[in-house]
Chain A
Amino acid sequence: MTDFRIYFAGRDDIPGEFTLGRDEKLDLLLVALPGVSCSIALHITLEGEGAEVNLGGIYLCPGNERLDISVTMEHKVGGCISSQDFKGIVGGTAQVGFYGRIVVAHDAQKTEAYQADHNILLTDTAKVTTRPQLEIYADDVKCSHGATVGKLDEDAQFYMRSRGIPEAEARFLQMVSFLAPVLAMVPDETRRAELSEQLETAVRSVL
């Protein structure tokens, strides 16, 4: 059974350290709703073979938030999988920093480590700094990282508007759709629906 935990930044006490032993599985979701400014530092250590961690993150910073997220994903032994998927919508004069470090130890062969941090920037005055860092000391690994900071897709916006969907609704749909893959990691359907509604309300407030 995979252990699933969700933490709301600014509300919950987020533990700084997670350690996974042999065959342990953990799904972790971090959520930062509008109005939350804080620093989050996570250190996740995979020290038993077959351990697996999925780390998801959603941050909505449409105002003047200051949010810093730093993650160290440490693969101490081989045969473990880690994946990170962060999605942010940043506007106003908010400033967001994402620092994602993946460390793969010398003999942690057959490691799989993935990291993604994608951002939609709503204003020119908002700022996102995303800095992935890979330190890989083993040679037989699969690792990838990707980071983007972009605007809402104009073609998708036009496509929806050409079907009569008002501009604000088209923006809303696209933002919700952008967050959807991370939301999908919530295993319980009722809980997922609750969170989805919470995020939709938050997204509407940024339009």
Chain B
Amino acid sequence: MANDIILKISGLHAGIEGKEILRGIDLEIRKGEIHAFMGPNGAGKSTLSSVLAGKPQYTVTSGSIEYMGRDLLAMSPEERSVAGIFMSFQYPVEIPGVTITNFMKSAVNAHRRAKGQEELKAGDFLKLMKEKMAFVQMKSEFSKREVNVGFSGGEKKRNEIFQMAMLDPVLSILDETDSGLDVDALRIVANGVNALHTPEKASIIITHYQRLLEYIVPDIVHVLKEGRIVKTGGRELVNLIEENGYDGL
């Protein structure tokens, strides 16, 4: 059914600084699906997530992306966010002087304003923060810390999933969320992602390794190589890659 489609990418070519990285991507993501993108370094995995989130440095040279029937490429990063797209950054950015509380208050209220809702009252906001912090096992002093400043690798990624829980996206994109995580942090992150998933939502998991995919089980696996999807299959593809490597496909 056409109205099941959350994301439709057609003939996408994109790059950065005049260098073409994605060379013709076609993809459909439906409600309830978890798609994994695997591939060697330089395959274009992070370019794909950056283009989806609307990172200004990237240029789309041809093709189209439709998100829930809307022209995604005509939307600013903040419009994409309030429309339900969330990207968990591979390298979350430090913002000295801005506390998690103030950062999230700005974000949550921007989402509410865009939906014509009133801003959250201070008490309700703190309650929501507390609930979602517990969800990724963050201690309460976390809310007073400056965004990502002095965070360990695991804390940064848990902070990403915390933000995802706060914003409750329709389409979440996890860009190499497993990199630099120990097993405990990986489990917290994966449990969070799984708990947030519903039949109405979809996820894109971008990863170099199969490790994360032991915890978050994908429905569809794509292998990206030199800017193209060279193979698409079910979850069995993950093991095949693990055994034979990307060259063995």
Known: A158-B56, A159-B89, A173-B102. A164 touches B95 (CB 8 A): no
- Bound complex: CA of A153 vs CA of B57, how far in Å? 13
- Bound complex: CA of A96 vs CA of B146, how far in Å? 30
Neighbour of B110 across the interface among A154, A155, A156, A166, CB < 8 A? A166
**Interchain residue pairs with CB less than 8 A apart (7):** A158-B55, A159-B93, A164-B114, A166-B110, A173-B102, A174-B95, A174-B98
Whether B98 lies near A177 (C-beta < 8 A) is: yes
Residues on B lying within 8 angstroms of A by beta carbon are 53-57, 76-78, 80-82, 86-87, 89, 92-98, 102-103, 106-107, 110-111, 114, 146, 163, 167
- List the B side residues contacting A177 at CB < 8 Å: 95-98, 146
Whether A160 lies near B56 (C-beta < 8 A) is: no
Q: Smallest Cβ distance from B105 to chain A, in angstroms? A: 10
Whether B97 lies near A181 (C-beta < 8 A) is: yes
Q: Smallest Cβ distance from B90 to chain A, in angstroms? A: 12
Neighbour of B81 across the interface among A163, A174, A176, A178, CB < 8 A? A163
A195 at the interface (CB under 8 A from B): no
A162 at the interface (CB under 8 A from B): yes
Known: A158-B77, A159-B89, A159-B93. A164 touches B98 (CB 8 A): no
Q: Smallest Cβ distance from B11 to chain A, in angstroms? A: 25
Known: A154-B57, A167-B78, A181-B97. A159 touches B92 (CB 8 A): yes
- List the A side residues contacting B167 at CB < 8 Å: 163-164
- Bound complex: CA of A158 vs CA of B98, how far in Å? 15
Whether A161 lies near B81 (C-beta < 8 A) is: yes
- Bound complex: CA of A134 vs CA of B98, how far in Å? 33
- List the B side residues contacting A68 at CB < 8 Å: none
A169 at the interface (CB under 8 A from B): yes
Whether B77 lies near A162 (C-beta < 8 A) is: yes
Residues on A lying within 8 angstroms of B by beta carbon are 153-156, 158-167, 169, 173-174, 176-181
Whether A176 lies near B97 (C-beta < 8 A) is: yes
- Bound complex: CA of A135 vs CA of B202, how far in Å? 62
Whether B87 lies near A162 (C-beta < 8 A) is: yes
Whether A180 lies near B103 (C-beta < 8 A) is: no
- Bound complex: CA of A180 vs CA of B99, how far in Å? 11
Whether B93 lies near A178 (C-beta < 8 A) is: no
- A181 — nearest CB in chain B belongs to which residue? B97
- Bound complex: CA of A115 vs CA of B80, how far in Å? 42
Known: A166-B78, A180-B97. A173 touches B106 (CB 8 A): yes
- Most B CB atoms within 10 A — which of A153, A155, A181? A155
- List the A side residues contacting B95 at CB < 8 Å: 156, 159-160, 173-174, 177
Beyond known contacts A158-B77, A162-B87, A178-B97: 20 more, CB 8 A cutoff? A154-B57, A158-B56, A159-B92, A160-B95, A160-B103, A160-B106, A160-B107, A161-B54, A161-B78, A162-B77, A164-B78, A164-B81, A164-B110, A166-B78, A169-B110, A174-B95, A177-B96, A177-B97, A180-B96, A181-B97
- B148 — nearest CB in chain A belongs to which residue? A159
Neighbour of A173 across the interface among B53, B55, B82, B103, CB < 8 A? B103
- B96 — nearest CB in chain A belongs to which residue? A177
Whether A154 lies near B78 (C-beta < 8 A) is: no
Neighbour of A161 across the interface among B76, B89, B94, CB < 8 A? B76
- A155 — nearest CB in chain B belongs to which residue? B93
- List the A side residues contacting B107 at CB < 8 Å: 160, 163-165
- List the B side residues contacting A161 at CB < 8 Å: 54, 76-78, 81
- List the B side residues contacting A153 at CB < 8 Å: 93
- Bound complex: CA of A178 vs CA of B95, how far in Å? 9
Q: Smallest Cβ distance from A50 to chain B, in angstroms? A: 31
- Bound complex: CA of A169 vs CA of B89, how far in Å? 20
- List the A side residues contacting B94 at CB < 8 Å: 156
- Bound complex: CA of A153 vs CA of B93, how far in Å? 10
Known: A167-B78, A169-B106, A169-B110. A162 touches B96 (CB 8 A): no
